[in-house]
Structures are given as structure tokens and as C-alpha cells.
Amino acid sequence: MRFDKNLLVKLCKLSGARSIASAVPELRIYEVGPRDGLQNESKFVPTDIKVELIHKLASAGLKNIESASFVSPKWVKQMSDGVDVMNKIKRQPDVNYPVLIPNIKGYEIAKKCNIQEIAIFPAGSEAFSQKNLNCSVEEGLKRFKEVAEQAIKDGIRVRGYVSCVLGCPYEGPISPKAIAKITEEVLDMGCYEVSLGDTIGVGTAGSVRRMMQEVLHVATPDKIALHFHDTYGQGLSNLLAGLEFGIRTVDSSVSGLGGCPYARGASGNLATEDLVYFLYGLGVNTNIDLVKLVEAGRFISNFLAKPTESKVNRAIADRFKNNHDIIAIASCTT
């Protein structure tokens, strides 16, 4: 099946791509594949494979790559080699390699690995907090405040996640006002940014807009990132709704890897390949080599012996041999 470039041009014009491109001159991509993407895989990924994936993502041009987690191996065995991963990475000076931290114990271990940024992750619902953190939302916030204060004291940047912002597998829909309140508390801890996660992928453009209207009462757009799972295929439309509010940071996972061990049925994150292709179509320059990104997605999918969840990866990996061909199609040039 061949691409109809004329049809793509029409679709881009209908979507208002050029006007959006002028409003979104650039967008920061926060790659979470090596951590969030792999944590739910039943097949253990050896340290060397994780490290090679991180190297391939950096080579493709990604500047923020969440690389490891320091949660208890008892609960997430896949992340049990965090120390080894961080010590084996050949770090590029212009690339950020953040790690996920559950508590002060995990932070003290991570600190020995020459980290520059950590992420903390309170939940947006009481039931999910009990399942994921074994404590209430309030208790979780206190725990993470202790971590954030120590990290800032040590000169380490802190990012915050809030999970289940649009829906919880145990409680159902979540109040936008509740998410705004938690977001404000996380920012007050000293986090430079809060990533709002639709952990089970139930959000729509409408629910994203309602949430953003409340969150932006307590935060400016430059302090907010969006983290969408693509369970119902709404990841890109939800992203577009977020861009309308001036959001400029988006989390994604190579090959659409992901899921959540405490959210049964949740599928992977928005695929980084799909995100980059989408942004090229809007005229937004990501400075990411899409060919190398596709290769990174194929590398980890082949190891896992599973098909890539990225629609772009499926469509173009065997049809286009260089980045210029892919960009020409994605940009809808004639």
C-alpha cells in the first residue's frame, strides 16, 4: 500500500497544522521507555540490553531519557538493576538521564550513581495510592516531600508525576479539582515540573481540557507536562488538546512500550515514533532522527519478541530508508 501524499496534504490543511506550528515552535520530549516502558514486561530485560536501548535513544537525538527506577525489587523486579544500568551508561553531556525514586531509601541508593535528576510519583486517587504506594495520598505526599527536600539540598533537580489524573481503575473518573490540588502541592515541594499521567489511558480531549482548566489555576503551562497512555487510541488527540493550553513537554515511550503493574488492562504509553511523526506534520522541529528512533523501537521489540505498538514504526520501517523520505511524508510537502 502506497502513501497518498496529496491526501496527506489535504488532511494537514484541514487539521490547521500550520497555525498550530506557529503556536508551538518547539516541544520537549521526555522519553520514558527504558523505565516506564519496560517496568511491566514479564520477560526480564538484561542490563546490557537496557543500556543499549538508552544509547540508541540518545543517538536518535532524545535529550531526556528516564533510565531506571529505584523501587523495591520485591515489587518491580524488572527495575532491580537500576544501579548497574546507571553505572554502565556512556553519558552524553547534553542528555538528561533521570530516575524514579519511591522514598528516601531509594534516593540514598540512587544518589551514589551520579544522578542529576529524580522523579517522584504521588497518585491522583486514594485507591491507586494504596495499591501503588501502600499509603494514602496524603502520606505519599509527605514521603515525597522528604525526598524532594533532600534532593534539592543536594543540588539535584526534582520532577513530579501525578498518576491516574483522568481515571482510576478502582475509583473511576477523577475530579479535576483534586488533580489541581495535588499538582499545587507537588510544585510547592520544589519540583520544576509536574507530569500529569493518564495511567490507564481512559482520557479524551474533552476530559483533558476540563482537567487543564483547573490545573492552570494553580500552575503555568511551562510547569506542566502531559503523560498519556494509548489504551483507547486517544493519545495524540489528547496531546493536541493539551497543546491548546500552551503545554510544551510531553512524555512518550519508544515503540509504545508500557503499562502499569497496578492498573490491569492499561496499555502502553504514547509511542515516541508516533509523537515525532505527528510533530513533523505540524511543522514542529524535534531535532530527532526518526530513522534511528524507529531502529531503537525495533531493537527493543525484537528482544521482547513482540510487535511494536507504534503505528508509525509499523508503517514506515520497511518502506523508507532515510530520514529525509520520512520527514517529507510527515511534513506533507508536495
Evaluate whether 25 touches 62 at the Cβ level (below 8 Å).
Answer: no
Question: How far, in Å, CA of 297 to CA of 302, rounded?
Answer: 8
Question: How far, in Å, CA of 315 to CA of 131, rounded?
Answer: 38
Question: How far, in Å, CA of 165 to CA of 105, rounded?
Answer: 27
Cell 516531600 maps to which residue?
145
Annotated catalytic residue 260: yes
Q: What angle do CA 49, 52, 54 make, to 5 degrees?
A: 110
Distance from the Cα of residue 147 to its chain's centroid: 21
**Residue 270 per-residue DSSP state:** P
Evaluate whether 240 touches 209 at the Cβ level (below 8 Å).
Answer: no
Q: Which helix (H) or strand (E) holds 225?
A: strand 224-228
Nearest CA among 7, 99, 3, 20 for reference residue 283 = 20
DSSP H helices in 122-204: 126-133, 137-153, 176-188
DSSP bridge partners of 101: none
Nearest CA among 330, 300, 323 for reference residue 53 = 300
Question: How far, in Å, CA of 154 to CA of 110, rounded?
Answer: 12
Cell 540508541 maps to which residue?
56
**β 28-31/99-100 pair status:** unpaired
Type of residue found at 161:
Y
Check 113, 168, 191, 260 and give the catalytic one.
260
- Helices 290-304, 323-330: inter-axial angle, 10-degree rounding: 100
Nearest CA among 172, 200, 202 for reference residue 266 = 200
Active-site residue list: 260
